[in-house]
Amino acid sequence: MTVKTVLSLCCISLFPLYLEAQEIIINKNTNSAASTESMDRHVSKLMADKVVTKEDIPIQKLIEINEKAALLYRESLLFPADELYDSHWDRKNVNPFKKETIDFPETYDIDCSSFVLPLTGTFKVTSKYGRRGRRMHSGTDLSIPTGDTVRAAFDGRVRIRDFERRGYGNYLVIRHPNGLETVYGHLSKLMVNEDDIVRAGDPIALSGNTGRSTGSHLHFETRFLGLALDPQALFDFENGVPHNDVYVFHSPKGNAEINNMLAAETIAKYSSFNKEEETPVANAPEPVYHKLRAGDTLGGIAVKYGTTVGKLCKLNGIKQTTILHIGRKIRVNG
């Protein structure tokens, strides 16, 4: 028998085994695909039946959600409060609507919760918001030595960086997503440029005595749609916190003094600066504040100071559901 004949006989005998192996492989692949499809259906059913929780959702999906939220906030810094200002981005006038009639909203909630005191050194209020003879003093003056760091009060975008010899001196105007614009005047050095995006607490300038100024100080303004609001109506400079997480703006209705009167009421209620300049109020209690610590609740604070949760909420302009941030000071007497 030749070698060729032997090989042929071997191939013939092995061929059925080859066919059987192929059939096994085909069946295995078919079963695998069917198994995968079955598993997909099972997982989908578990999701539909709420057996699988959101913790089982891939972390990548959560990352995508966070990235989208960050992108939206970034857009709000690039175009801060654009729905209010309708793209008015004037680089010359502190009031961007100086030559226009403004249709103010009836009311508008201004979120002040992220406020950062623009000065970190020792200072005192030397001049308040209000009329000075025929002139209107549109902000609050904070006495501070030249060269101290001035910081952004909120996240925002720099609208104006300029110099005014007979007025603000070196000054900045920053627009914020909450609808406010803040003005910083009489600066000795400017550390940001127009269109820069800044975060609350970022250094933006150094204090000084430039422009129409008789001593080193920071002139600080808060404006809404160009209208100057009393900074002391919004913020407690002594404690470095906003009076309320939300300041409710009321439309002037053609009378710019209405907000000034509201501001004056708030000052009488909250301000402890320059007491010698204020008209004494009979039996007016000295403000008492409680600094929030971990574990504090409105109920616990109310019991501690002999008051009620309702009074605390009314006094501080908050709700029982308001999140209490550690470090914030709330007034406990009225």
Q: CATH number of the domain at 107-277, out of 2.70.70.10, 3.90.45.10, 3.40.50.10490, 2.60.40.1180?
A: 2.70.70.10
332 neighbors 290 (Cβ within 8 angstroms): yes
Residue 187 has pLDDT above 60, yes or no: yes
Instruction: Determine the average pLDDT of the residues in 107-124.
Output: 93
Cα 121 to its chain centre, rounded Å, is 23
Band the pLDDT of 181: cuts 50, 70, 90.
very high
The per-residue pLDDT for range 117-150, each reduced to its tens digit, is 999 888 999 999 998 888 889 999 999 999 999 9
Instruction: Determine the average pLDDT of the residues in 246-255.
Output: 79
Q: How far is CA 187 from CA 13, 121, 150, 222, 332, in A?
A: 99, 15, 9, 17, 37
Q: How far is CA 278 from CA 34, 135, 141, 237, 264, in A?
A: 84, 20, 17, 17, 11
Dist CA 172 CA 301 (whole Å): 40
Dist CA 292 CA 300 (whole Å): 11
Token pair, residue 169, equals 């001196």
Domain ranges of the chain: 3-52, 107-277, 289-331
Half-sphere exposure for 120 (CA within 13 Å, toward CB) = 14
Name the CA dihedral angle for 324, 330, 333, 334, rounded to a multiple of 10 degrees.
-100
207 neighbors 187 (Cβ within 8 angstroms): yes
Total number of residues shown for the chain: 334
Residue 211 has pLDDT above 60, yes or no: yes
The CATH H-level (homologous superfamily) assignment of domain 289-331 is LysM domain (3.10.350.10)
The per-residue pLDDT for range 10-35, each reduced to its tens digit, is 555 544 544 454 444 444 444 444 44
Tell me what pLDDT residue 41 has.
53
- E strands of the chain, at which residues? 107-111, 124-127, 130-132, 135-137, 140-143, 149-151, 156-164, 169-175, 180-187, 189-190, 197-198, 203-206, 217-224, 227-229, 235-236, 241-242, 246-250, 289-291, 329-331
Tell me what pLDDT residue 43 has.
44
Least trusted range by pLDDT, from 192-206, 218-232, 239-253: 239-253
Residues whose CB falls within 8 Å of the CB of residue 334, separated by 6 or more in sequence, listed in order:
285, 307, 311, 314, 315
Tell me what pLDDT residue 1 has.
55
Dist CA 257 CA 277 (whole Å): 21
Question: Which of 96, 126, 219 lies closest to 168, judged by CA?
Answer: 219
Dist CA 209 CA 147 (whole Å): 10
Band the pLDDT of 252: cuts 50, 70, 90.
confident
Residue 42 has pLDDT above 60, yes or no: no
Most confident segment among 24-33, 66-75, 202-211, 280-289 = 202-211
Task: Say which residue, 327 or 116, is predicted with more confidence.
Answer: 116
Residue 280 has pLDDT above 70, yes or no: no
Burial class (CB in 10 A: 0-12, 13-18, 19+), 188: middle
Tell me what pLDDT residue 117 has.
96
Tell me what pLDDT residue 37 has.
53
Burial class (CB in 10 A: 0-12, 13-18, 19+), 134: exposed
Half-sphere exposure for 260 (CA within 13 Å, toward CB) = 14
311 neighbors 270 (Cβ within 8 angstroms): no
Tell me what pLDDT residue 314 has.
77
Residue 109's SS3 state is strand
Q: How far is CA 132 from CA 60, 110, 129, 139, in A?
A: 59, 28, 9, 12
